[in-house]
Chains A and B, each alone.
Chain A
Amino acid sequence: MDEGMFAEFDSVDALRRALVQLRHEGLHELDAFMPFPDHEIDALLGSRPKSVTRIGGIAALCGVTVGYGLQWYLNAVNYPLDVGGRPPHSPLAFVPITFETAVLLTALATFAAVLGLSGLPRLWRPAFEIDGFERASIDRFWVFVAYDDPRLERVRVRRLLASLGALRVIESSAEVA
């Protein structure tokens, strides 16, 4: 989903209006580029499976299992050491490390998931070649319609975007990319 039509807007409100209209047109292969996150735009782009939370949750369960299992195996099975007659398998004493392992794995997995699912790190993408696109991280808002979208009629959508107040509409083609 790299090639398509890019339209630049100068406010988040204009971006929202444009997305509403594009959704109304039945377009689905949409994305937006903006300097800060926005809840309404998340909603406009449609709900996606919450993979990040799922990956984090699985990592947490793995952490609990590995953390507890390791302590139990090492201290109670593989090499039990009698210290003052305390039981080799003492669940309460194993809680802190179990918790820490769970947190550690969750944090690592979440971090990797946020970047990995978004295809990062990826230092270059075709959009970066658009002149002025760098302001997407400062104060400009871009809408993207992928060419893969079966409902895309280029001329109509181009005109629609212009009528919605787009500062400019740029079609990225293989040559630009």
Chain B
Amino acid sequence: MSRWVRGDATAEQLSDQLLSPVWTPASRVWVAFVLLTGAGTLMLFGLIAWTMVEGIGLFGTNIPAAWGFAIINFVWWIGIGHAGTFISAILLLLEQKWRTSINRFAEAMTLFAVMQAGLFPILHLGRPWFFYWLVPYPSTLEVWPQFKSALPWDAAAIFTYFTTSLLFWYLGLVPDLAGVRDRAPGRLRRRIYAIFALGWSGSALAWRRFRIGYGLIAGIATPLVLSVHSIVSADFAITLLPGWHSTIFPPYFVAGAILSGFAMVLLLLIPARAVFRIHNVVTDRHLDVMAKMILVTGWIVLYSYVIEVFIAWYSDSEFERYQMLVARPFGPYGWVTWLAIFCNTIVVQLFWFRFARRSLAVLWIVSLLVNVGMWCERFVLIDISLMRGFTVSKWETFVPTLVDWGIFAGTLSFFCLLFLLFLRFVPFVAVYEVKELAQEPDDEDDDDG
């Protein structure tokens, strides 16, 4: 029995345990949460409709702060998605077996987070119904997208990221959908899952192609995930604005993305593990390892913060120095800067200690704070830079409107709604991988200390 699966459940018991949420009747708590998040989602669609009709004057954005909540939320959500790809692709290539129990979960989180992220740039276009102008298609206008701008890069990156994540997730899901097809009670349910399982028979020849293809997509998803947030960071870095014009942005954004993504995985996984009683598959060790990942990426973020300030000082540019040394820490939203620093670099230091990595309450609260902190970081980076540009006469303070907050809250609801549906209708642990892992002999290098 591998050290990543506890107890001595047989393959049949593991299958039943991990597949049964799909056919167990929904609990009242689940229904209540679905109604609640469903209401939030309706509010989101209502606000989107209002924005389409009325225009983005409903947002707090104006000149000079032309990028507000829409872009903050976009960067934040897409960053959260990154941990899913990191867990499922990069850890697969590194043969980290602990990813097995949580990869499907994390991939679903990626998909749903990217869906939220994708809404914002489209809404922020002002005339969202013309979003397809970013795609090169022969039109009567005869003008093509300008590929030297970072915005078509963004469109290509997000579309590719979403599609690749979806294919990767679905491919991994096929054998488990076949498991539901073969195990679920009830003819109708079996038939529905049979369609989604595409007729998977578990043939060794098919498994072989499956494994090669899955590894291949993991291989290309690895540079992809690094490219997506790098391209997002290019939206900022290729401009001249103080606080944006910086070469550290791509790695800095990617590290922050993985930090917030791991925190989001823990935030969702801890309650799900308790509700579905899957402690034998998602062990305390899994949580422990993820806490260590948060610590590592937290340090990369800390390093980036230090370098950002140092380079601003070293550049001897008064605009950069003002931005980094005065506007951010002591300007109108100075407290947001300090909150970001506190959450992303100081709180995560708790994970040096074993008790913190093993305490569910500490893990959950730190994860929550990291997500708050990363959102604050995006706010500081985007809006304080815009509020304090080169010309003093253009300085203005950005104030978000209720619509801004409403849309943000709406995407949180929509995300949770999708996640609740996922937990109910899809095997949320990669069952075949857990069974494969469970029959392997224990690893020699037990480094847990």
Contacts and interface: CB of A to CB of B under 8 A. Distances in A.
- Judge: A and B partners, yes or no: yes
Interface of A: 12, 31-38, 41-42, 45, 48, 50-53, 56, 60, 70-71, 74-75, 78-79, 81, 83, 86, 90, 93-94, 96-97, 99-101, 103-104, 106-108, 110-111, 113-115, 117-118, 120-125, 127-128, 134-139
B160 A50 contact: no
Interface of B: 10-12, 15, 136, 142-148, 152-153, 156-157, 159-160, 163-164, 167-168, 170-171, 175, 178-179, 181-183, 194-195, 198-214, 216-217, 220-221, 223-224, 227, 231, 234, 432-433, 435-436, 439
Given A96-B157, A106-B220, A134-B183, 14 more contacts: A34-B207, A35-B11, A42-B204, A52-B213, A53-B212, A74-B147, A79-B142, A93-B148, A100-B227, A103-B160, A104-B163, A107-B217, A138-B12, A139-B15
A114 B170 CA distance: 12
Contacts of A31: 203-205
Contacts of A38: 204, 207, 436
A156 to B, nearest CB: 23
Contacts of B146: 75, 81, 83
A103 B224 contact: yes
Contacts of B178: 137
Contact of B209 (A41, A113, A135): A113
Nearest to B16: A138
Nearest to A99: B227
Contact of A107 (B148, B164, B212, B234): B164
A111 B213 contact: yes
B166 to A, nearest CB: 9
Contacts of A110: 167, 213, 216-217
B435 A103 contact: no
Contact of B220 (A33, A35, A51, A103): A103
A107 to B, nearest CB: 4
Contacts of A41: 204
Given A32-B204, A96-B227, A114-B210, A121 B198 contact: yes
Contact of A139 (B10, B167, B234): B10
Contacts of B221: 103, 107
A90 B167 contact: no
Contacts of A115: 198
Given A52-B213, A118-B205, A78 B144 contact: yes
A48 B208 contact: yes
Given A78-B144, A99-B227, A121-B199, A138 B179 contact: yes
A74 B201 contact: no
A34 B202 contact: yes
Contacts of B223: 99, 103
Contacts of B198: 115, 120-123
A152 to B, nearest CB: 18
B204 A34 contact: yes
Top-10 shortest CB links A-B: A134-B182, A114-B213, A139-B11, A121-B198, A118-B206, A36-B436, A32-B204, A74-B144, A37-B207, A100-B156
Given A35-B179, A107-B167, A83 B148 contact: yes
Contacts of B159: 100, 104
Given A97-B153, A104-B163, A123-B199, A137 B216 contact: no
A12 B201 contact: no
A136 B231 CA distance: 44
Nearest to B143: A79
A33 B213 contact: no
13 contacts: A33-B202, A34-B202, A52-B216, A53-B216, A90-B148, A107-B160, A107-B168, A111-B167, A120-B206, A121-B199, A125-B201, A135-B182, A138-B183
